[in-house]
Amino acid sequence: MKIKKVEFTDFRNIESEEISFSDGINVIWGENAQGKTNIVEGIYLFARGKGFRAAKDKELIRFGKDISYVKLFFEKGGTDTEMGAEIQKTSKKIFYKNRVRAERISDIIGDFRAVLFCPSHLGIINDSPSVRRRFLDVAISQLKPVYIKMLSRYNTVMEQRNAILKMSPEARENYKDMLTVYSSQLASLCADIALMRYEYVKKLDIWVKKFFSEMTSGSEEPKIKYESDGWREGITKEAAEKKYFSLLTENIDKEIKYGATLYGIHKDDLETDLNGKDARYYASQGQTRSFALAMKLAEGEISREETGEYPVFLLDDVLSELDRSRKKYILSNISDRQVIITCCEKSLFCASKDVFFVNIEGGRVKYPRRRKTQQKTASEKA
């Protein structure tokens, strides 16, 4: 999968720009607050269906404007594809694929795949469980579009169930049967979603072990395991569904007290161990960063295994947060795929061959420039 170009109109601080990319390493450089991350966010919009920084869609629109447009042109499996996003202040985002409007955002997830690695991801190991669940949800959704639809359905049913739990005892009595129906629906969805997560985590564990071993010369042993109240290794989907239903029906009094559903896949987590100890509490800062880096590289490898080609890698200002050995490792492992890197200093890449540079200043492309070796090769071919 390769991006050919992206077009922006009134997106963040970008008024109107078209940016082309090479098939290999692309470096977007410039001072802070010039628009580098905005470019990455605009691209990632098509992988996840929303920006990775904006709390609200209207934050993606250039100040003083009411509407923003982004177009992405990429090649996937030998076929050229065009995707578009229209963001308005007063209505929901609209996505297009080959100029045909998508009925739902979930309909476009998986068409364009990307692995995003930004500074906030360096804390994925010792952050809250919701961060690790989000990592799983984003990664799996790009590979299995049905997954995001199941998550959406799960959240809807849980909201309906929570509404009944919050009712007064008198009102809740009228919805007793519906509470059981919602518990049954949640149990079924839990079993399906947990199975997908479990299978993904098994693959993740294999790749993380490989990358972590290479970074530490085999001196440390990481392990990732899916942690759930209703799912365990060796259980069948049918048995898991019964377990979840039991949890949801036998603890009603406790849930009524809290006015919320206390059991289900929205409470699950990733157990991350290092050398037999919980990495969340015992890993050093360097070890947690190696763990996070290994997880992101593993995400890309699983995507390649599942689809037959690498996703696009988006590294947003993450190299400045890594030490020299980890910088060297990540750069040595991305040479055979398309990578878009943002940074303030391009000197890190000046000794590298076949790097395409894009300079951003004030939301404008100051200049796109290939290295002289690339220009010479292009002229020779002409």
pLDDT tens over the chain, length 382 residues: 999 999 999 999 999 999 999 999 999 999 999 999 999 999 999 999 999 998 889 999 999 999 999 999 999 999 999 999 999 998 889 999 999 999 999 899 999 999 999 998 988 999 999 999 999 999 999 999 899 999 999 999 999 999 999 999 999 999 989 999 999 999 999 999 999 999 999 999 999 999 999 998 888 999 999 999 899 888 999 999 999 999 999 999 999 999 999 999 999 999 999 999 999 999 999 899 999 999 999 999 999 999 999 999 999 998 888 888 888 888 888 888 999 999 988 877 766 668 899 999 999 998 775 444 444 433 333 3
Q: Report if residue 16 sits inside a domain.
A: yes
Minimal CA–CA distance to 137: which of 151, 124, 154? Answer: 151
Of 256, 284, 308, which residue is a domain's last?
308
The position carrying tokens 């190991």 is 125
SS (HEC) of 188-203? HHHHHHHHHHHHHHHH
Does 283 lie in the same domain as 329? no
Rounded CA-CA distance 92/304 in Å is 32
Domain that holds residue 90: 1-113+311-382
Q: Are residues 225 and 98 in the same domain?
A: no
**DSSP category for residue 62:** P
Tell me the C-alpha to C-alpha distance, in Å, between residue 317 and each of 45, 189, 281, 346, 363: 18, 37, 26, 12, 17
Helical (H) or strand (E) element with 247: helix 237-250
Contact 345, 29 (CB under 8 A): yes
Domain end (from 280, 308, 336): 308
Q: Determine the Cα–Cα distance for residues 78 and 32; give it in Å rounded to an integer.
A: 36
Residue 317 and residue 304 share a domain: no
- In this structure, is residue 123 part of a structural domain? no
Record the pTM. 0.91
Clarify whether residues 60 and 200 are in a common domain.
no
Question: In this structure, are 192 and 81 located in the same domain?
Answer: no
Same domain, 62 and 108: yes
| Residue pointed to by tokens 């406790």 | 254
- Alpha-carbon distance 269 to 225, whole Å? 9
